[in-house]
Amino acid sequence: MFLRDDLAQALCIEERSAVKADDALFAQIWALQGEVYRSVASRTTLRFEAAGRAYFLKRHRGVGWREIFKNLIALRLPVLGARNEYQTCRHLAGRGIAAPRVAAFAERGCSPAARDSFVICDALEDYESLEDLTDRWDDEPPDPLVKRRLVVAVARFARAMHAAGVVHRDFYICHLLVRREALQRGCVELAVIDLHRAQIRRRIPRRWLRRDLAALLFSVLDLPLSRTAWLRFVREYRGRPLREVWARDGSFWNGVYKRARALYRKGQRRGLVKGRFQP
């Protein structure tokens, strides 16, 4: 387990619990109250405050063998707890890529189907999601220069994250945050959140890169972005002239676009998109 001293003091966690992830520690963490952001069968995310600081807590309960087998049959890696998020946040921070700073992590249980775990991270203050920011564009059209800077910043952030060996596996704009104060100064500072499905790989398979980038593209298809913005993203992500990119990786980027369109059609059937894009 990992427990930062300042959080231990803020929560008055006893020293014996700080050494080992025992039942008393889990009972204390499970009893924390706050604003619930998400609650599903095996995972709860809530925001709480302690000693004047804000934190986000993710509590994971055992997913059960049925869920594990369902994911494996679908050729998906099951999420068994908070370890992915804990490791990925620390990995990104070590490489200078903005992500939530971990304050605590623990897990208990030997069986992967019955393992309980949690991770607590510092809240990213003065940030908002790109989804919330762009939702206001209908009523508050942004300056074209701001859109251009956002596209370039997202491309460079995605490139840095993937270069660090991290594939997000839920890489939508709702999981990218932009710092408000910096944006008001004309700068774009980004951070990534919700890394519970992320994987750290020495070399990321191209199909996983394609899925990450297609998810990102899918999540912006309803926005007032031109084809030029897409080409600018591709150029910045690869860091090469477009002519060279298409000569080397044309099939890869066509695959990204094709998968994003498929995701959009699926979203249309489920009523999850605005329907402005014609796939």
Query: Could you tell me if residue 275 is inside a domain?
Result: no
pLDDT in tens, 253-266: 999 999 999 999 99
pLDDT in tens, 65-121: 777 777 778 767 777 889 999 999 999 999 999 999 999 999 998 887 888 999 999
What total number of domains does the chain contain? 2
Looking up residue 188, the CATH number of its domain turns out to be 1.10.510.10
Query: Could you tell me if residue 66 is inside a domain?
Result: yes
User: Percent of the chain, pLDDT > 70?
Assistant: 96
Looking up residue 60, the CATH number of its domain turns out to be 3.30.200
Task: Supply the range of the domain harboring residue 55.
Answer: 2-122
Query: Looking at 94, 122, 150, which one is the last position of a domain?
Result: 122
131 with 117, same domain?
A: no
* Mean pLDDT, range 168-187, rounded to an integer: 96
Return the number of other C-beta atoms located less than 10 Å from residue 25's C-beta. 24
Q: How wide is the angle at C-alpha 261 spanned by C-alphas 260 and 265, nearest 5°?
A: 120
Catalytic entry in 170, 212, 222, 249: 170
Query: Could you tell me if residue 76 is inside a domain?
Result: yes
> In this structure, what token pair is assigned to residue 277?
């894009």
Query: Looking at 63, 98, 122, which one is the last position of a domain?
Result: 122
88 with 190, same domain?
A: no
CA 117 – CA 105 distance, rounded (Å): 7
163 with 243, same domain?
A: yes
3 state DSSP class of 36: strand
Annotated catalytic residue 5: no
